[in-house]
Amino acid sequence: MSKIRVGVVGTGIIGQVMHLHFLRELADRFEIAAICDLSIDNARANAEAYGVALVYTEWRQMMAAELDAVLVLTSGSHAPLAVEAARRGLHVFVEKPMCFSTDEAAEMVAAAESAGVVLMVGYPKRYDPAFARFRELARDLGDVRLLRVTTTEAPWRPYLAHYPLIAPGPIKEDVLRGLRADDARRLTSAIGSDDPMLVHVYQNVLLDTLVHEINTIRGLWGEPERLEHVDYRPGALNVLLSYGDAAAAIHWLEVPGMTRYAMEFSVTGTAGRATLTFPSPYLRNAATAIFLERGSADDVASSSTESITSFESGFKRELEAFATAIRGGAPVPTDGRDSARDIALCQSIVRCMVERAPVDRPTELDHF
């Protein structure tokens, strides 16, 4: 098969730091055929940097070009772009979150399945080689008691200082107003409220950041039986999920005064503990570390080891998986149906906050 002609929608930070960079590294599989951004200055500058001839500010016009696939890297809900792309017979890769509600997710999945195209959501942690190794180790810890997830959100700009980024260009104010209004409408519909605090938690904490942890937990343990408890206070969110006799506890907090991002998954069983520590997502090839602790019930003898699995980027490997799926190979693990369950859990967390009551089967998709 010839190279996959891809159109890139959105040339912001994650597009420049990760996706455009790795598409060029994967030039044996992908051709960047078109670039689209709301800022024509930004779109043109990135097109020049990557040798792309077709430049757009309107994604529908871009999708009329000769393309095989689109990468949707914009903020906001990706549902309108993904649905339209599928209807045009284009394979679709969207950055997280895939959309704002399970209703939108159902529409995206239906459009992709009807057209017979790949719908993939970008969750690079699921494609990190260390994740697969950690999942194996976590199965050999005896009777598992707890999965603890702790994320420290830190200032992100210092992690970008070493990249030659193209600065954002001007965007028409009426365009921005329309996008903000559309976001507000979709968010209110998703959670059934326009309460500013709930909208903030849903959009800025759950969909923008914690959805990564949610997807990774599900990649390790599958679907939770129950969402037991949610505790939110400014700058911190704690969530407790039940998995039979085991529990998954999520702790998310902002630490604005320290550029020391950390995301840690720790599984503790009766025979040991394994911990997976991710670096900042803005560092292209920083290694993910695994720590394994063992001990004895009869004496104080114990051991702790640190291992590095690979320096391969999860962002690059997810693009490789996208190409393989398009060419008829293995399906992607983070497809539309899988990722819709992340959105369902985000909606359930808000529901638990409002109703102050547990939610059974919080990732269930009633209308799929």
Q: Is the pLDDT of residue 85 over 90?
A: yes
Answer whether residue 229 is part of any domain: yes
Answer whether residue 304 is part of any domain: yes
Tens digit of pLDDT for each residue in 147-181? 999 999 999 999 999 999 999 989 999 999 999 99
| For residue 97, cis peptide bond before it (omega within 30 degrees of 0) | yes
pLDDT-derived band at 368 (thresholds 50, 70, 90) equals confident
Same domain, 74 and 194: no
Same domain, 130 and 119: no
What is the value of pTM for the model shown?
0.96
Q: Is the pLDDT of residue 186 over 80?
A: yes
Is 151 within 8 Å of 253 (Cβ atoms)? Answer: yes
Same domain, 110 and 158: no
Answer whether residue 45 is part of any domain: yes
Q: Is the pLDDT of residue 367 over 90?
A: no
Same domain, 229 and 155: yes
Residue 91: beta bridge partners? Answer: 69
Mean pLDDT value across residues 1-26: 96
Answer whether residue 367 is part of any domain: no
Tens digit of pLDDT for each residue in 251-295? 999 999 999 999 999 999 999 999 999 999 999 999 999 999 998
Neighbours of 219 (CB within 10 A): 17
Same domain, 8 and 145: no
Answer whether residue 107 is part of any domain: yes
Same domain, 112 and 162: no
Same domain, 70 and 208: no
Mean pLDDT value across residues 303-314: 95
Same domain, 79 and 159: no
Same domain, 228 and 252: yes
Mean pLDDT value across residues 56-79: 97
Beta-carbon contacts of residue 236 (< 8 Å; ≥ 6 apart): 251, 252, 253, 254
Q: Which residues of 220-236 are buried (b: 16+ CB within 10 A; e: fewer)?
A: bbeebebbbbbebeeee
Residue 155: beta bridge partners? Answer: none
Range of the domain at 176: 126-311+342-360
Same domain, 214 and 93: no
Answer whether residue 366 is part of any domain: no
The CATH number given to whatever domain includes residue 145 is 3.30.360.10
Same domain, 140 and 259: yes
CA gap 303, 78 in Å, rounded: 46
Share of the chain above pLDDT 90, in %: 96
* pLDDT (0 to 100) of residue 1: 62
The CATH number given to whatever domain includes residue 21 is 3.40.50.720
pLDDT-derived band at 190 (thresholds 50, 70, 90) equals very high
CA gap 75, 181 in Å, rounded: 14
Mean pLDDT value across residues 353-367: 95
Same domain, 118 and 139: no
| For residue 279, cis peptide bond before it (omega within 30 degrees of 0) | no
Please tell me the total count of domains within the chain. Answer: 2
Q: Which of 81, 5, 26, 17 is nearest to 49 (CA)?
A: 17
